[in-house]
Amino acid sequence: MEKKRMLTGDRPTGRLHIGHYFGSIVNRVKLQEEYESYLLVADVQALTDNFNNPDKVRKNVREVVIDYLSCGIDPEKTTIYIQSMIPETAELTVFYSNLVTIARLERNPTVKTELAQKRDVFGESVTYGFLGYPVSQAADITVLNGEIIPTGEDQEPLIEQCREIVRKFNSIYGNVLKEPKILLSKNKRIKGLDGNEKMGKSLGNAIYISDSPEEITKKVMSALTDPNRIRKDDLGNPDICMVAYYHNLFSSQEEYKNVCEECRAGKRGCVFCKKQLANNIIEFLKPMREKRAYYEAHPELVDKIILEGTNKAREEAKKNMKRIKKAMKLDYFE
Ligand code: SF4
C-alpha cells in the first residue's frame, strides 16, 4: 500500500535542545516508519523574525540538519530539504495571499501568541512577512501535496488555516489541492532548567543535543531546586525542583521514586542528586553526541543529504505547480 505523505519542519534559528527532542523529534523518528516523510528546514520562515540576522539563519541550517540526523531522522526514510531552494513555494504564497484576509490572519491564535512573545523584535508594528507566515506555511504543505501534518495543539490553528485556503482555492479553481489532515500529537512540553514553562536559547535554560558532558554538568548544577532546602537533612519538596523534574525524564522510574522519597525524608543531598542526574543525561545523549561527531567530521555527507533531499522536493513541487497554474489559467505557452 502506498504510504501517505507527511510533512514537518522547523525554523533554523538555533541548535535543537531536549525540548525539541521530546516535543517533536521523537515522534518524527517514529512516524518516518509509517509515512513518506518530508522534513522542511524553514529558512525563509526563520527570516520573518530574523530578517536582520541572515548569518544566524544560514549557520543554523546545517546545525539543525546535523541534529536531526543525530537524533535518528533517517535520510533514507525522510527527505530533508531547504525551503528557500523551492521557489515554487514563494510563487504559491503569492497566489494564496489573495485568498486570505488580514483580519483572519490577525485572529489566528498561534500568530497572536507568537506576536506577544516577539514584542522585542516587532514592537507595535508587525511586518507583512510575519503576519503572513501561515500563508507561506500553507504553500509549503500544499506545494508538496502534504497529506498528514503532525502537530501539537498550539500549532493546530496554522494547519486549520491551511485547510481553509485549500477549500477556498478548490472552490474557485477546481478540485486541485489535497486538504491536509492534522495528526494531533501529545507534544511533551519540557520546562527549562530555571523552571520556566518554555525552554529556549534566549532564556539560557536549555540543554542542547550537542552539549558536551562538561556543559551538561555545569548546566544541571545550576538548575532550580527547592529553595527552602539548605542542609541535606532539611525535608525537601521534589515537586518544585527542576532536578527531580528531569530525573523523571532521564532516570529510571525506580531511581526517580528514590529521588522523591529521599528528598522528602531529608536523606538526599542536592549536589549528589544533581551529579546523578547530569550523568544520566550525559549517558542518554551519548549516542546522539557520537552520531553528531561523525556528521561534523563528514560535512560532504551532510551536504549530499541536503542537496539530494532538496532536489527531490523541488521536482515534486514543480510537478504540482504545473497542475496548480493550469487550474488558475496561468499556463501560458504550454
Ligand atoms: Fe531537588 Fe534532589 Fe535537592 Fe530534592 S535533593 S531539592 S530533588 S536536587
pLDDT tens column, 209-227:
999 999 999 999 999 999 9
Q: Do domains 5-191+298-327 and 213-292 have the same CATH topology?
A: no
CATH superfamily of 5-191+298-327: HUPs (3.40.50.620)
Residue with the bigger pLDDT between 128 and 203: it is 128
146: confidence class by pLDDT, cuts 50, 70, 90: very high
Q: Which atom of ligand 1 is least distant from the CA of 263? A: 4
Determine the Cα angle at 23 with ends 18 and 26, to 5°. 85
The lowest-confidence range among 79-88, 159-168, 178-187, 257-266 is: 178-187
pLDDT over 90 at 31, yes or no: yes
Q: Coil, helix or strand for 59?
A: helix
Ligand 1 center to 270 CA (angstroms): 5
pLDDT over 90 at 263, yes or no: yes
- Residues near 235 by Cβ (< 8 Å), separated by ≥ 6? 264, 265, 266
pLDDT over 80 at 187, yes or no: no
pLDDT over 80 at 176, yes or no: yes
CA distance 132 to 326: 25
Mean pLDDT of 313-317: 98
Closest CA relative to residue 180, chosen from 137, 235, 209, 240: 137
The lowest-confidence range among 65-69, 121-125, 179-183, 289-293 is: 121-125
Residue nearest to atom 4 of ligand 1 (CA): 263
Residue with the bigger pLDDT between 97 and 334: it is 97
CB atoms within 10 A of CB 163: 18
Predicted pLDDT of residue 154 = 82
CB 278 within 8 A of CB 216: yes
Ligand 1 center to 226 CA (angstroms): 7
Count CA atoms closer than 13 A to 320's CA, side-chain side: 24
pLDDT over 90 at 49, yes or no: no
Predicted pLDDT of residue 244 = 97
**Three cell numbers at 207?**
540543554
Q: Which atom of ligand 1 is least distant from the CA of 259? A: 7
Mean pLDDT of 292-306: 97
Q: How far is CA 150 from CA 54, 147, 159, 180, 311, in A?
A: 28, 10, 10, 10, 24
Q: Which atom of ligand 1 is least distant from the CA of 226? A: 6
Mean pLDDT of 170-179: 97
- Answer whether CATH 3.40.50.2300 is correct for domain 213-292: no
| Pocket perturbation via mutation, ligand 1, pick of 240, 273, 280 by most ligand atoms within 8 A of CB | 273
Q: What is the pTM of this model?
A: 0.91
Predicted pLDDT of residue 124 = 73
pLDDT over 90 at 185, yes or no: no
| Pocket perturbation via mutation, ligand 1, pick of 230, 263, 264, 271 by most ligand atoms within 8 A of CB | 263
Residue with the bigger pLDDT between 113 and 316: it is 316
Predicted pLDDT of residue 203 = 81
- Burial of residue 172 (CB within 10 Å: 0-12, 13-18, 19+) is exposed
Q: What is the dihedral of CA 123, 127, 132, 134, to 10 degrees?
A: -40
| Pocket perturbation via mutation, ligand 1, pick of 193, 255, 268, 281 by most ligand atoms within 8 A of CB | 268
The lowest-confidence range among 88-92, 96-100, 119-123, 283-287 is: 119-123
- Write a three-state SS string for 150-217: EECHHHHHHHHHHHHHHHHHHHHHCCCCCCCEEEECCCCCCCCCCCCCCCCCCCCCCCECCCCHHHHH
Residue with the bigger pLDDT between 229 and 121: it is 229
CB 252 within 8 A of CB 283: no
Tens of pLDDT, residue by residue over 240-254, are 999 999 999 999 999
Predicted pLDDT of residue 225 = 95
Residue nearest to atom 8 of ligand 1 (CA): 270
Domain residue spans of the chain? 5-191+298-327, 213-292
308: confidence class by pLDDT, cuts 50, 70, 90: very high
Q: Which atom of ligand 1 is least distant from the CA of 268? A: 5
Residue nearest to atom 3 of ligand 1 (CA): 270
Binding-site residues, ligand 1, Cβ < 6 A: 225-226, 229, 236, 238, 241, 243-244, 259, 263, 268, 270, 273-274
162: confidence class by pLDDT, cuts 50, 70, 90: very high
Phi, psi (5° rounding) for residue 133?
Answer: -65, -25
Kind and range of the H or E run holding 306: helix 299-327
